[in-house]
């Protein structure tokens, strides 16, 4: 089989001087230049002692060089481990302790804070948003590597950490087979090819930005208009020169806020894709009314890459995520018994296919508990497949908040709050938020004297990445519990449903 790296090399051979990365105000980068960068970085990785199977952890800003580091890691048979730059030092301590990488690459501005990590077993290098750093210097001095470590479909390509319901983050191990098969399925399904010009405004440390958007361009020969972050006005300006946008629902909520979004500004675009969180059916319809274009909603998960998609040709239904991608099987099962359910009934969404990950790094028991004996992976999402064949997600069986496309597991936030002085207990919930879909919100009970909500938010700042921190903290006398003593989060969500109605903050 061919890996994403193999496909990229072949495409670069054909595309040569064609632009791969276009960036406002900066020089374009061609496929040939990118291939050269990858080969030099592969040489630098070898010089640093990265061998097949070694992990390369990268907590770096978005840049073409960061994508080159990903491809170079695949070339030498390494396992790429991207990390959100928003993670704090204590969060990074855990990932490095768990994954034991051979190399950790950080931003030059953060180098002093990470210097203590360097040892015989772990090299620490830097790479900045401008593409400069100690790793770039090493690459410039290295002998470019053209040879490629051979990898099969079951060999490991990447680890992506996802938080867990028990508090400990889990490293989802994705294979070359997972990445290649999913990219190919999406290229076919969305008719994506070298003629496309993709507005890439997503972060590249998650599946959506790296394994969906970037992989599709790297393999097909399309051009990426590569933006460091999403800005609705900038995206609308760029639509005249682009064909496809891939985004989380917050992108579409923000685009709809602009009076400039209309048929004319979107006329050259052939596809708008949404995923990572539920797209409001009203946004789906409003987008169509304003632009004449139907957003194509799809469904995926870190552990499974993309699972289902609305069709390119055929009805794109608001509130539905479409049909399983070719080669992938989706079924709905009873929450209690695991028995498959007939069409139209609501149950757990389970998935099987070449897209499904190998397991959690160093967690065989956790892995086993999330698979059925017949190989189906239990997503933890609740859904139904109607007689029309479309999958609809109706809720989650897992305690999870999705804020602006980022997953936040309440348990992790609750543990951080409960450890603060003066706190008796807490419950963290997601409440409807016009911009982010859901906003992380903490309901806290004081031990005895009163508690200052602002002091709680300030105390969390050093421990948790910004997107996990509660937007609001509410202090209450007690939490509602059921007869078993379990906190009733549904009741809390109902009680505080209108909290963010007035403002975004
Ligand atoms: C930024 N902030 C956030 C978020 N993003 N807080 C909560 N949730 C967020 N998502 C914080 C900032 O640190 C800032 O805090 C304040 O909120 C306002 O920031 P703002 O400028 O509005 O944010 P932004 O930079 O415009 O970012 C919003 C965003 C971004 C564009 C929605 O979060 C984003 O790009 N999300 C995409 C995430 C993603 O790629 N998910 C895919 C996961 P302060 O003011 O205090 O500094 S992969 C996945 O889920 C599966 C596999 C799938 O199906 O794809
Ligand atoms: P993550 O663990 O970050 O990969 O997030 C995966 C989760 O995002 C899924 O289990 C779903 O709960 C959610 N998700 C992804 N795409 C969609 C979608 N189109 N609609 C609803 N939820 C989605």
Residue 504 predicted with pLDDT over 60: no
In this structure, what token pair is assigned to residue 488?
């009733």
Pocket of ligand 2 (CB under 6 A): 162, 207, 275-278, 297, 299-302, 321, 379, 381, 393, 396, 402, 407
| pLDDT tens by residue, 353-380 | 999 999 999 999 999 999 999 999 999 9
In this structure, what token pair is assigned to residue 501?
């109605």
| Chain mean position to CA 371 | 22
Whole-angstrom Cα distance, residue 79 to residue 92? 17
User: Per DSSP, what are the bridge partners of residue 378?
Assistant: 350
For the CA of 300, the closest atom of ligand 1 is 54
* Residue pointed to by tokens 């049909």: 323
Please state the rounded mean pLDDT for residues 307-321: 97
Q: How confident is the model at residue 163 (pLDDT cuts 50, 70, 90)?
A: confident
Assess contact for 382 and 397: CB atoms under 8 A: yes
pLDDT for residue 482: 87
Furthest CA-CA distance within the chain:
70
| pLDDT tens by residue, 204-213 | 999 999 999 9
For residue 202, report the distance from its CA to the centre of ligand 1, in Å: 9
Counting ligand 2 atoms within 8 A of each CB, the residue from 302, 393, 403, 467 with the most, and so the one to mutate, is 393
Pairing label, strands 123-126, 156-162: unpaired
Please state the rounded mean pLDDT for residues 177-193: 98
Residue 165 predicted with pLDDT over 80: no
pLDDT for residue 49: 97
For residue 299, report the distance from its CA to the centre of ligand 2, in Å: 6
Please state the rounded mean pLDDT for residues 54-68: 98
Measured between alpha carbons, how far apart are the two ends of the chain, in Å? 48
| Chain mean position to CA 446 | 35
Assess contact for 299 and 307: CB atoms under 8 A: yes
Please state the rounded mean pLDDT for residues 182-188: 98
Residue 167 predicted with pLDDT over 80: no
Q: How confident is the model at residue 26 (pLDDT cuts 50, 70, 90)?
A: very high
Residue 505 predicted with pLDDT over 60: no
Based on DSSP, count helices (H) and strands (E) in the chain, helices before strands: 15, 25
With a CB cutoff of 8 Å and minimum separation 6, the contacts of 79 are 53, 54, 55, 56, 73, 156, 157, 158, 159, 173
DSSP 8-state class, residue 210:
I
pLDDT for residue 293: 97
Q: How confident is the model at residue 503 (pLDDT cuts 50, 70, 90)?
A: low
pTM for this model (two decimals): 0.95
Q: Percentage of residues in the chain with pLDDT exceeding 90?
A: 93
Distances (CA, A) of 382 to 226, 348, 367, 399: 34, 5, 20, 12
**Which one, of 424, 438, 495, 501, lies nearest residue 468 by Cα?**
438
- Number of the ligand closest to the Cα of 84: 1
The tally of CA atoms less than 13 A away on the side-chain side of residue 136 is 17
For the CA of 162, the closest atom of ligand 2 is 2
pLDDT for residue 172: 98
Counting ligand 2 atoms within 8 A of each CB, the residue from 402, 410, 467 with the most, and so the one to mutate, is 402
| pLDDT tens by residue, 119-147 | 999 999 999 999 999 999 999 999 999 99
| pLDDT tens by residue, 393-442 | 999 888 899 999 999 999 999 999 999 999 999 999 999 999 999 999 99
Residue 170 predicted with pLDDT over 90: yes
Whole-angstrom Cα distance, residue 461 to residue 476? 22
| pLDDT tens by residue, 415-424 | 999 999 999 9
| pLDDT tens by residue, 385-394 | 999 999 999 9
Whole-angstrom Cα distance, residue 25 to residue 289? 33
For the CA of 380, the closest atom of ligand 2 is 10
**Which one, of 322, 338, 408, lies nearest residue 370 by Cα?**
338
* Other beta carbons within 10 Å of 397: 14
pLDDT for residue 52: 98
Question: Side by side, which strands form the sheet with 305-309?
Answer: 26-30, 19-23, 223-226, 197-200, 244-247, 271-274, 296-301, 305-309, 323-324
Under DSSP, is residue 248 helix (H, G, I), strand (E, B) or coil?
Answer: coil
User: Per DSSP, what are the bridge partners of residue 360?
Assistant: 172
Whole-angstrom Cα distance, residue 313 to residue 96? 44
- Number of the ligand closest to the Cα of 252: 1
Please state the rounded mean pLDDT for residues 160-171: 81
Q: How confident is the model at residue 347 (pLDDT cuts 50, 70, 90)?
A: very high
With a CB cutoff of 8 Å and minimum separation 6, the contacts of 122 are 96, 100, 101, 102, 103, 104
User: Per DSSP, what are the bridge partners of residue 443?
Assistant: 427, 474
In this structure, what token pair is assigned to residue 149?
């470590």
What phi and psi, each to the nearest 5 degrees, are found at residue 102? -85, -30
Length of the chain: 505
């Amino acid at each position: 089989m061919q890996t994403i790296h193999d496909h990229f090399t072949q495409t670069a051979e054909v595309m040569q001087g064609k632009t791969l990365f276009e960036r406002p105000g900066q020089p374009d980068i061609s496929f040939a230049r990118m291939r050269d960068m990858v080969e030099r970085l592969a040489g630098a990785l070898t010089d640093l002692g990265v061998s097949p199977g070694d992990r390369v952890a990268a907590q770096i800003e978005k840049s073409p060089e960061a994508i080159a580091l990903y491809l170079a890691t695949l070339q030498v048979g390494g396992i790429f481990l991207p990390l959100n730059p928003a993670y704090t030092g204590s969060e990074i301590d855990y990932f490095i302790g768990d994954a034991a990488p051979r190399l950790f690459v950080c931003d030059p501005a953060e180098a002093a804070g990470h210097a203590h990590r360097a040892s015989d077993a772990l090299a620490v290098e830097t790479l900045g948003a401008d593409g400069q750093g100690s790793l770039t210097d090493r690459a410039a001095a290295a002998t470019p590597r053209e040879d490629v470590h051979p990898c099969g479909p079951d060999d490991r390509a990447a680890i992506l950490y996802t938080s867990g319901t028990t508090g400990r983050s889990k490293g989802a191990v994705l294979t070359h087979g997972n990445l290649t098969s999913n990219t190919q399925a999406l290229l076919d399904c969305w008719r994506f090819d070298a003629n496309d010009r993709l507005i890439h405004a997503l972060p590249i440390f998650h599946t959506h930005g790296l394994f969906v958007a970037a992989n599709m361009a790297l393999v097909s020969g399309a051009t990426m208009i590569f933006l460091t972050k999403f800005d609705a006005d900038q995206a609308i300006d760029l639509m005249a020169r682009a064909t496809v946008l891939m985004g989380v629902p917050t992108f579409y909520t923000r685009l709809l806020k602009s009076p400039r979004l209309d048929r004319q500004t979107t006329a050259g675009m052939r596809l708008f894709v949404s995923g990572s969180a539920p797209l409001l059916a009203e946004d789906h319809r409003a987008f169509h009314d304003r632009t004449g274009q139907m957003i194509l909603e799809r469904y995926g998960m870190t552990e499974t890459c993309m699972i289902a998609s609305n069709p390119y040709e055929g009805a794109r239904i608001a509130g539905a995520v479409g049909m399983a991608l070719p080669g992938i099987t989706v079924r709905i099962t009873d929450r209690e018994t695991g028995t498959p359910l007939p069409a139209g009934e609501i149950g757990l969404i389970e998935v099987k296919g070449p897209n499904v990950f190998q397991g959690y790094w160093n967690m065989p028991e956790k892995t086993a508990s999330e698979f059925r004996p017949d190989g189906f992976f239990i997503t933890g999402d609740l859904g139904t497949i109607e007689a029309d064949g479309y999958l609809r997600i109706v809720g989650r069986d897992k305690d999870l908040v999705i804020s602006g496309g980022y997953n936040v597991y309440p348990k992790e936030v609750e543990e951080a709050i409960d450890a603060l002085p003066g706190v008796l207990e807490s419950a963290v919930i997601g409440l409807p938020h016009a911009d982010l879909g859901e906003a992380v919100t903490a309901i806290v009970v004081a031990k005895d004297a009163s508690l200052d909500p602002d002091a709680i938010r300030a105390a969390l700042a050093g421990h948790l990445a910004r997107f996990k921190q509660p937007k609001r903290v509410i202090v209450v006398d007690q939490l509602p519990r059921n007869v078993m003593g379990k906190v009733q989060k549904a009741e809390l969500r109902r009680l505080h449903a209108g909290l963010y109605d007035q403002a975004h903050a």
